[in-house]
Structure 1
Amino acid sequence: MKQTITFYIVFFLSFLSVPISLMAETYPEVLFENSVLPSSYSGSKIQYQGDSWIKNLRGNLPVSDSIFFTPNNALSLNYISSAQGYWQADVFYPENYQASRNGVLILKLYVQSETTIDELPAFQIIQADSVMSQPMLLKDYLSNFKEDTWLSIEVPLNRIQGISNDHEIVAIRFLQQGADNKEHQLYIDQIEILPSRTPMNKLTSAAVIQNVIPFEKHVDISWRLPLTPSIRYIKIYRSENNKDFRPIAIRPIFATKYSDIVSEVGKTYYYKITWLDFQYRESPYSSVKETKTKLLSNEELLNMVQQANVEYFVDGSEFNSGMQQFKRSHGNAIVSSKLTGVGIMALISGVNQKMILRSVLVDRLSKISDFLTSAESIHGAFPALMDGRTGKGVFPNPHNPVIDLDGTSYLIQGLIVVKQYLNPKDATEAAIINKLTSIINAVEWKEFMKPETPFLFTNWSVDTNFEEATPLLGREALSAYLIAWASPAYNIPFNDSISITKNLSEETYYGLPLTIGAIDDSLDTLLTAFAVFDPRDKHDKTANYYKELQNLILIQYRRSLEEGSLPAGLGSNLIVDSLGWVNPSSIVSTYPLNPGFALRNLVEVYRNYPTLFWSEYGFRTINIKENKLSLNTQGIRFGTEAIMIENGKTNLIWKLFSQDQDIRRIVDALFDADSNGIN
């Protein structure tokens, strides 16, 4: 126990003094670029036995923030190889990567110790289904070996024996080669697989820095990127005296800005950037921009978070369809139904707060409505993912199209809300309203009810029908049922909230009653579900929904204080769940339910732990036990946060949803003592 507490203290305090790269998004072909978090890289795993050894932090490779090829860190490979032992270190792709057979594995190597070329490790490629290449020697691909300098290793994939063209690449494994019983210190950076031919033209024009916007604990730097195919990265430099500039980050070309975490309020900082080509040669520097951080009020901090959230959805627009990209990367046209629905409502909040122009929203909706009108659907419902260029669904099994009714329900929620927001007297907006109405009314909700049950089912397929489908249950499904009950043409039989609620029983936890659900219910999911449904003054014969949500927030907070992983005195307003996850966005999203608690959390997290939690688009979710990020649903969290902040300020999204006549009819009946008045 003592070791665990010591680790958390060191881990947390390290964020207060160590500047880190907050970048998580990069190119799919890049296996390692930077660790988002300091100390260690969670996308790695080591093993050793016998007299051999490799340095690790809780089973992960350490990272160095002082020696790196691209800022802000590199992997540290500190090992001893013995004849009576063995070691290996795997570095995983964030997602499996299907490489071209003509690709080239490239990595950067720095040898700090007294190490001969024969003492370098071997490597092999790990593919899906446990397919492994033959071990290859790093030394065979070094023609000019030197210590204390960065070396480039380039290995054509077609020279690696044992690689299968039919399997995706999972990881690269570095492994023991030789048995010299010496301690070696290497650094490895920028591991990627590139085409055998990449643009070779040197970048002769100076980079263009566009804006440098100061806040309290960070500065946002943006740029104007030319249409030059040779540019691969943007490299950002910072100085405190306008003389000594040091590199602080690189960003891929699909990124529009970088948030630089700084240590002092009221201090002047200077920034400049360069472009990097595929050979990591730099363009001429941009001009220098000067800025000064400033103290922000609580209201300004709240606006800062909301604007960052909104910009996630502005920057994540897929060019062809206007839908929200599932994952941001260069040339990625895969879009998400659920993210788009949440994103539409986040954009409405941005327009209402004058953070973006109304024309940005209207232009986006014009594309979305055209896309959805012709996109692949079954019974009016959509797949979870679609190709923004073609409208075709993207499925794990291309021979089994699956409908995501949960994602469709969030998409329809967004369309219902924005339909109320648009102006029917404006010709352009009126045309969009008509298209949205057709899309909303086309969902045949009845088709997704399993016979002889009152439940809607998601993951439904024409081929497998309900065999692999799962029911939508719990409070988080309430909005989906409201829409399905309210559908003008394809409504499902009305039932009260008890029929869709799981774990119905009144229990007391940490001094507070909780009637519906359990204390382990995801706060994220519940808040997203209540983003459109106003729980105030809403109660039925089982529960007061507003009070239930307030109690759940406080129950999870009290449990975190009593059972949480943080040492006393660190993060008194944070909620740490039983698995070690800290999710500031979900707490800020409670703003309309418990504004004081939400603001205290926002202020504490941003001012005390910005290097840990803040990113270009808002607060990240971190697992403090495993030193890793949660990225799969981060976009939903950003959207929910923007929406709920707006609901706390103006009730706008709640109001718009309730203005729909069919929705209002169902809500009035559902929360009436006599719920039999549905026609």
Structure 2
Amino acid sequence: MKINACNLIWLLMLAGYSCAQKPEANSEVESRAYDRHVELSWHPIADADNYVVYVRKEDGEYAKRAELSDTLYLDFVNDLGKNLGLHYKIEARTGESSRLVGEVAVETKTMSEEELLNMVQYYTFRYFWEGAEPNSGMARERIHIDGEYPQNDQNIVTTGGTGFGLFALLAGLERGWITAAEGLARFERIVDFLQQADRFHGIWPHWINGETGKVKPFGRDDDGADLVESAFLMQGLLAVREYYRDGTEREKSLADKIDNLWKDMQWDWHTQDGQNVLYWHWSPNFGWQKNFAIRGYDECLITYILAASSPTHSVPEQVYHEGWARSGNIQNESSAYGHPLPLSHNGSPEYGGPLFWAHYSYLGLNPKGLSDRYADYWEHNRNHSLINRQWCIENEAGYKGYGPDLWGLTASYSTNGYSAHRPGNDLGVISPTAALSSMPYTPEESMAVLKNLYYNYGEKTFGRYGFYDALSPEEAWYPQRYLAIDQGPVVAMIENYRSGLGWNLFMQAPEIKEGLKKLGFSFPE
């Protein structure tokens, strides 16, 4: 789209700006006003101990709103009313003295569902844009707003989470949140880093040090190739390749680099001496010691699709049918709450596993119209989402807050560490990514959760990178923490719901079409 004055105003409005939000000429404060919150940001003052935020309504007196050390503040204004005209001023405090940083006037407004979706996407996109590790450009494994990073891992990047984030960056490009030049430069940085980072038979590890490119072990004997995380990464890279392959010389060069990385991946090596199943891990120090064969339904379908589609190191169709599909035993005849689940989920055949199983493989792989001898994947994923939702509505454990507008069990932070929440492993913890990333399957039901989280829990659940990873009204537990693998699907799947961007790009790759046909899939062309 050619950017002219009218288009620029439209793009700014989509990102949450309005004409009334433009900072005053002498202001050092930037602002965005939405329905129930205002975002304020300013440059740091070198000698400031902290900052104090004041607000007043039209014709009112200033009142202290917050005192903080950060230079970004989200003010949830539910207590002040709706459709407000507000005036803010920020003061920097140094010892007993203070000085004005700046002032700004804003107006909040009632937002449509489309504007709410745009807001959530935009904020979550910032995890991968503003929150990225600076040297590699890749997604940090986690970002903690409420405390220190565990194990000093602020520079540890995640291969799978970065793959999800590539779809988020593509969405940011298409929606005008970053320029074409900015987007291309970021993709180049990521791809150039991946070319130099540790690989094992062309496969990346789960975690990489973003400053050095060296593997960080994910576990004692997990210090080498991670086939599944690398599949998530390549799913995103192929979408980027398709986005740029017919572009300028510089863009074509980026697409060629991705193509070379794709061709270097030795999927057939991971059959461990020609067995008809893929193995998740290989280590230069421990070999096949983990011995984790990828069998039965979980998040890993995309791994088999890519392995079959590889132009250089593909696996035969028997690896899919005998390994992943367990020689047909992957099929399931059970149902829950009246919703059939065509595929038997590992460990939870009746109610289905954590909801990320309906997301990770489908950021690029389009389940609409996708079927093989085992399942219709749209029906399967929609039913998986509806079963998960109904479990929360039934709420046999009586957890506080659960209902039609607060549902969604998946892997996330938990009240005691980390857990793969699902029916049967329900700890009273709702993970926003579960319902939000199910938006294509359950748009009305997912929107109800989005609205509830924003309008009723916003101050506790929404921050600079979108909704935090998890919450438990039962335990009054609202950690301010993010995980890349949970943030990425939110942007990608909402975008697939709105425009089909990720699906269209990935599914147009000729190797993917051939690989799907090879495995016996039917899909729209």
Is 2:161 the counterpart of 1:339? yes
Contact 1:458–1:472, Cα closer than 8 Å, also in 2: yes
Find the counterpart in structure 1 of residue 43 from structure 2.
224
Counterpart amino acid of residue 213 in structure 1: R
Cα distance in 1 for partners of 2:399, 2:303 equals 40
Post-superposition offset of 1:222:
1.8
Deviations 1:382-413 (A, max 9, x none): 12222222211222679973322222111111
Post-superposition offset of 1:318:
2.1
Cα distance in 1 for partners of 2:232, 2:298 equals 14
Cα distance in 1 for partners of 2:267, 2:367 equals 24
Contact 1:236–1:271, Cα closer than 8 Å, also in 2: no
Deviations 1:165-216 (A, max 9, x none): xxxxxxxxxxxxxxxxxxxxxxxxxxxxxxxxxxxxxxxxxx9743111111
Post-superposition offset of 1:599:
2.0
Is 2:442 the counterpart of 1:594? yes
Find the counterpart in structure 2 of residue 322 from structure 1.
137
C-alpha distance 609-629 of structure 1, shift in aligned 2 (>3 A): closer
Find the counterpart in structure 1 of residue 461 from structure 2.
613
Structure 1 SS opposite 2:39:
strand
Counterpart amino acid of residue 389 in structure 1: E
Q: How many residues align?
A: 459
Find the counterpart in structure 2 of residue 204 from structure 1.
none
Question: Which of 541, 552, 574 is the aligned partner of 2:406?
Answer: 574
Is 2:195 the counterpart of 1:373? yes
Is 2:39 the counterpart of 1:215? no
Question: Which of 453, 461, 486 is the aligned partner of 1:637?
Answer: 486
Post-superposition offset of 1:248:
2.3
Find the counterpart in structure 2 of residue 499 from structure 1.
323
Is 2:398 the counterpart of 1:584? no
Is 2:338 the counterpart of 1:511? yes
Counterpart amino acid of residue 56 in structure 2: E
Counterpart amino acid of residue 471 in structure 2: I
Find the counterpart in structure 1 of residue 303 from structure 2.
480
Contact 1:514–1:548, Cα closer than 8 Å, also in 2: yes
Cα distance in 2 for partners of 1:551, 1:368 equals 36
Question: Which of 97, 111, 123 is the aligned partner of 1:296?
Answer: 111
C-alpha distance 435-605 of structure 1, shift in aligned 2 (>3 A): same
Post-superposition offset of 1:271:
2.9
Question: Which of 204, 212, 216 is the aligned partner of 1:382?
Answer: 204
Unaligned 5+ runs, structure 2: 1-25, 410-425
Is 2:491 the counterpart of 1:664? no
Contact 1:510–1:558, Cα closer than 8 Å, also in 2: yes
Counterpart amino acid of residue 373 in structure 2: K
Unaligned 5+ runs, structure 1: 1-206, 674-679
Contact 1:208–1:225, Cα closer than 8 Å, also in 2: no
Is 2:444 the counterpart of 1:444? no
Cα distance in 1 for partners of 2:397, 2:112 equals 30
Post-superposition offset of 1:270:
3.3
Counterpart amino acid of residue 315 in structure 2: I
Cα distance in 2 for partners of 1:583, 1:284 equals 41
Cα distance in 2 for partners of 1:335, 1:276 equals 36
Post-superposition offset of 1:483:
1.0
- Bigger mean CA offset, 544-553 vs 257-266: 257-266
Query: Percent same amino acid at aligned positions?
Result: 26
Is 2:72 the counterpart of 1:265? no
Counterpart amino acid of residue 289 in structure 1: V
The structure whose residues are more often helix, as a share, is 2
Cα distance in 1 for partners of 2:361, 2:316 equals 21
Structure 1 SS opposite 2:504:
helix
CA RMSD of aligned residues (A): 2.9
Is 2:233 the counterpart of 1:427? no
Post-superposition offset of 1:453:
3.6
Cα distance in 1 for partners of 2:505, 2:96 equals 52
Find the counterpart in structure 2 of residue 286 from structure 1.
101
Is 2:123 the counterpart of 1:308? yes
TM-score normalized with structure 1 length:
0.62
Question: Which of 236, 239, 246 is the aligned partner of 2:64?
Answer: 246
TM-score normalized with structure 2 length:
0.80
Find the counterpart in structure 2 of residue 355 from structure 1.
177
Q: Which has the larger Rg?
A: 1
Cα distance in 1 for partners of 2:293, 2:93 equals 49
Contact 1:208–1:224, Cα closer than 8 Å, also in 2: no
The equivalences for 1:383-402 within 5 A come to 383-395=205-217, 401-402=223-224
C-alpha distance 269-487 of structure 1, shift in aligned 2 (>3 A): same
C-alpha distance 266-658 of structure 1, shift in aligned 2 (>3 A): same
Post-superposition offset of 1:333:
2.8
Cα distance in 2 for partners of 1:628, 1:568 equals 12
Contact 2:408–2:432, Cα closer than 8 Å, also in 1: no
Higher relative contact order (CA 8 A, sep 6+): 2
C-alpha distance 658-397 of structure 1, shift in aligned 2 (>3 A): closer
Cα distance in 2 for partners of 1:497, 1:248 equals 59
Post-superposition offset of 1:514:
1.0
Structure 1 SS opposite 2:373:
coil
The structure whose residues are more often strand, as a share, is 1
Structure 1 SS opposite 2:100:
coil
Post-superposition offset of 1:340:
1.4
Counterpart amino acid of residue 114 in structure 2: E
